[in-house]
């Protein structure tokens, strides 16, 4: 009996670590030199009303799924968004991220460009920074500032440094709770299905 409990606790810890990840990676986005996008009016040319869309693929073979957006920063060639996107990932994560940069308009929004990088570009990058020109035009540049927390460290103070209003991507904590629920209450499912 005791052995069984030890095995299931080990299995639980493994599943929790694979679901929630060893690292919390927080990303902040900014752009520089975005091209003019609203050519109008006698006042001349305005900068774009830029926002970013975040896509996430949890491995090198998975497809992208749209996960979140920043706010719109109006008439700005060099937007710096305060939105923070947080990911719980394994240390050796092969996840990929794509960012679309858009110009918000009253009618249809305009596409400015995109950039793609991997979670390892952030985890292993100098200062956890990654930047590149936007594709396909090469006009404008995306900069990604990462902050990486090691969740396997038992530091009770660490959590206080997490961005409080981060968009969690994907909601891996929820998946971990579902796994926990199944392991702790295996009877529950059997009974309810009878």
The footprint of Ca ion (CB under 5 A) covers 37-38, 49, 103, 105, 110
Q: Regarding beta strands 167-168 and 80-89, do their DSSP bridges make them parallel or antiparallel, or are they unpaired? A: parallel
Strand, coil or helix: 133: strand
Least distance to Ca ion, CB of residue 38, Å: 4
**Would you say 105 or 181 has its CB closer to Ca ion?**
105
Position of minimal CB gap to Ca ion:
49
Residue with tokens 């969740």: 151
Least distance to Ca ion, CB of residue 46, Å: 7
Task: Read off the DSSP letter of residue 135.
Answer: B
**Would you say 83 or 103 has its CB closer to Ca ion?**
103
Least distance to Ca ion, CB of residue 67, Å: 23
Q: What is the CA radius of gyration of the chain?
A: 21
What CA–CA distance (Å, rounded) separates 166 from 114?
Answer: 22
**Strands (DSSP E) found in the chain:** 23-32, 38-39, 45-46, 50-57, 65-69, 80-89, 96-103, 110-118, 129-133, 141-150, 167-168
**Would you say 34 or 176 has its CB closer to Ca ion?**
34
Least distance to Ca ion, CB of residue 49, Å: 4
**Would you say 37 or 87 has its CB closer to Ca ion?**
37
């Amino acid at each position: 009996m005791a052995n069984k409990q030890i095995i299931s606790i080990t299995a639980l810890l493994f599943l929790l670590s694979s679901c929630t990840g060893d690292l919390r990676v927080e990303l902040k986005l900014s752009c520089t030199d975005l091209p003019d996008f609203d050519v109008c009016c006698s006042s001349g040319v305005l900068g774009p009303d830029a926002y970013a869309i975040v896509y996430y693929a949890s491995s090198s073979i998975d497809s992208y799924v749209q996960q979140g957006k920043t706010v719109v920063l109006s008439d700005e060639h060099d937007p710096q968004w305060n939105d923070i996107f947080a990911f719980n990932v394994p240390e050796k994560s092969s996840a990929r991220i794509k960012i679309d940069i858009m110009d918000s308009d009253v009618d249809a929004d305009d596409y400015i460009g995109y950039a793609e990088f991997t979670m390892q570009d952030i985890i292993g990058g100098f200062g956890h920074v990654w930047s590149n020109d936007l594709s396909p035009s090469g006009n404008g540049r995306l900069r990604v500032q990462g902050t990486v927390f090691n969740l396997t460290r038992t530091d009770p103070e660490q959590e206080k440094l997490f961005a409080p209003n981060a968009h969690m991507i994907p909601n891996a904590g929820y998946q971990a709770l579902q796994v926990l629920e199944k392991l702790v209450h295996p009877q529950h499912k059997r009974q309810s299905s009878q």
